[in-house]
Amino acid sequence: MARVRRIRTPVGDEAWLVSGHAEVRRLYADRRLGRTHPDPAAAARLGDHQLLSASELYSHEHEHEEHMAIRAALMPFFGGRRMAVLRESVRGLLAELLDELAAAGPGADLHSMLSAPLSVRTLCALLGVPDREVFRDLVDQMDDVQDRARAEAGQAELSAYLTEVVELRRTSPDDGVLAGLAAAGLSTEDIAGIATMLLFAGYDSTAVMIDAGVLLLTRHRDQWELLRVRPDAVPGAVEEVLRLGDADAADGSGIARYARESIEIDGVTIEAGEAVVLDTARANLDERAFAEPLRFDPGRSPNPQLAFGHGPWHCLGAPLARLQLIEVFTALPARFPGLRLGIPDGELAMTGNLFTGRVRRLPVRW
């Protein structure tokens, strides 16, 4: 299959799908590709949701400069010192959630009892958001790809909620991201927009990867046992979970990017203004970059997976996601060595979200 090809998006617009590892990596670093469009109303869309269309977080003229300024403002919150502090709180929270999972007994839903609450509570602590239940409900509502009106209502409520939290942090600052950005002089509107993107980059995707890792590892019992007896193998296993966790994603899932000028790649020309989807799920299966790409191999080295993007678009939250995944897959096999799915694999109910598929429930036994 061609590594750069034309597709129709779910709403009928034309876009370029880039699925080769080298090509995706190259375009992530190419300043001729961006998230904004000179005429947003005419830009091709990947779906009805606003986050699947041209970004309004930056101006088109100065997109890259504004993007790098935001990255610079956020970077201290994802550095090694902050992650070291968060690691202890993640371990404590994880121990609490595992106790609750054990108390619920076999058949408990690992997604609602572990994956989702660990991700949302960790992210709330980082951001400085006080009411994690309101936060979680609104993000779940905004993530509804089946009901556009419900998603838009959730987005409006989330924006209003974050606006209130930002104003709270201006008068009652803490050490979270929202207070830090307010102190740096950013407007409330800009901070709320940045926080919205962090929510989708952090909460849902991390929970999805925890679920995906449990599925992958329980399908490979030898690897589950390996992590139980050799915790030092966990970081490598996490990289394979990140590489393979989205392998079932539909073509064209992701966010829209737009050529700022014509780009020639892999024998085709992407014209200025055309939409581009960087398909990291397919890129992570490219046999030119990965020997036996469908094989789950925690010892794979090197493992240049692109789950977090690359270059100036590499996810700032990658250290936080890795921290949570490493802690989960260190603790779970040790606490529940016999953990397995509570229903046949083929009976898992899947639902779509903005960027990929996820399980609705993940019942487990041990």
Considering only the C-alpha atoms of the chain, give the largest distance between any 2 of them, rounded to a whole number of Å: 58
Note the pLDDT tens digit of each residue in 59-118: 999 999 999 999 999 999 999 999 999 999 999 999 999 999 999 999 999 999 999 999
Note the pLDDT tens digit of each residue in 115-140: 999 999 999 889 998 877 777 777 77
Spell out the long-range contacts of 164-170 with Cβ–Cβ below 8 A and sequence spacing 24 or more.
Answer: 165/128, 165/129, 165/130, 166/191, 166/192, 166/195, 168/130, 169/128
- Residue 145, burial from CB neighbour count under 10 angstroms (0-12, 13-18, 19+): middle
Residue 166 pLDDT: 93
| Number of domain units in the chain | 1
- Mean pLDDT value of segment 177-195: 91
- Look up the domain containing 327 and give its range: 4-365
What would the DSSP string read from start to end of 207-270?
HHHHHHHHHHHHHSHHHHHHHHH-GGGHHHHHHHHHHHTTTTPPTT-S--EEESS-EEETTEEE
Residue 252 pLDDT: 56
| Nearest Cα residue to 355 out of 212, 234, 236 | 212
Q: How many CA atoms lie within 13 A of 250 on its CB side?
A: 17
Task: Measure the CA–CA gap between 177 and 192, rounded to whole angstroms.
Answer: 11
- Whether residue 356 has pLDDT greater than 60: no
Note the pLDDT tens digit of each residue in 242-272: 999 987 665 656 789 999 999 999 999 999 9
Residue 56 pLDDT: 85
* Residue 67 CB contacts under 8 Å (≥ 6 apart), including other chains: 35, 58, 312
Residue 250 pLDDT: 56
Residue 351 pLDDT: 64
Structure tokens at 173: 């600052």
Residue 234 pLDDT: 98
Output b/e per residue, 290-323; b: 16+ Cβ within 10 A: beebeebbbebeebebbbbbbeebebbbebbbbb
- Greater confidence (161 vs 292) lies with 292
Residue 328 pLDDT: 98
Structure tokens at 55: 């970004």
- Whether residue 326 has pLDDT greater than 70: yes
Note the pLDDT tens digit of each residue in 21-34: 999 999 999 999 99
CATH of the domain at 352: 1.10.630.10
CB atoms within 10 A of CB 196: 19
- Residue 61, burial from CB neighbour count under 10 angstroms (0-12, 13-18, 19+): exposed
- Mean pLDDT value of segment 51-55: 81
DSSP state for residue 47 in the 8-state scheme: S
- Whether residue 334 has pLDDT greater than 60: yes
Strand, coil or helix: 309: coil
Contact indicator for 77, 180 with CB cutoff of 8 Å: yes
- Mean pLDDT value of segment 332-347: 93
Alpha helices in the chain (DSSP H): 21-28, 63-74, 80-104, 110, 116-127, 132-142, 148-171, 177-183, 188-199, 205-219, 221-229, 234-244, 280-283, 318-335
CA dihedral 57, 20, 317, 113 (to 10 degrees): 110
> What is the chain's mean pLDDT, rounded?
91
| Nearest Cα residue to 330 out of 298, 359, 308 | 298
Going by pLDDT thresholds of 50, 70 and 90, the confidence category of residue 194 is confident
Distances in whole angstroms, Cα of residue 291 to Cα of each of 21, 174, 242, 301: 13, 47, 16, 10
Residue 360 pLDDT: 79
